[in-house]
Amino acid sequence: LAKTTQPISMDSYEGQEVNITCSHNNIATNDYITWYQQFPSQGPRFIIQGYKTKVTNEVASLFIPADRKSSTLSLPRVSLSDTAVYYCLGAQGEIKAAGNKLTFGGGTRVLVKP
Partner 1 sequence: DAGITQSPRYKITETGRQVTLMCHQTWSHSYMFWYRQDLGHGLRLIYYSAAADITDKGEVPDGYVVSRSKTENFPLTLESATRSQTSVYFCASRDGQGSYEQYFGPGTRLTVT
- Size of the residue set binding partner 1 (CB under 8 A): 24
> With contact defined as beta carbons under 8 Å apart, do 84 and 75 qualify?
no
Report the DSSP beta bridge partners of residue 2: none
Which of 9-17, 20-28, 71-79, 98-106 is the region at the interface with partner 1 (rule: CB under 8 A)?
A: 98-106
Q: Is the dihedral of CA 112, 55, 41, 20 positive or negative?
A: negative
> With contact defined as beta carbons under 8 Å apart, do 86 and 36 qualify?
yes
Q: Is 107 in the site for partner 1 (CB under 8 A)?
A: yes
Q: Residue 51, SS3?
A: coil
Min separation Cβ 114 and partner 1, Å = 25
Min separation Cβ 86 and partner 1, Å = 11
Which of 46, 76, 77, 80 binds partner 1 (CB under 8 A)? It is 46
Contacts of partner 1 in 48-77 (CB under 8 A): 49
Q: How far apart are CA 71 and CA 41, in angstroms?
A: 27
Residues of 25-39 as b/e, b for ≥16 C-beta within 10 angstroms? eebeeebbbbbbbbe
Which of 73, 78, 91, 110 binds partner 1 (CB under 8 A)? It is 91
- Residue 66 or 98 having the CB closest to partner 1: 98
- Which parts of this chain interact with partner 1 (CB under 8 A)? 32, 34, 41-46, 49, 87, 91, 95-107
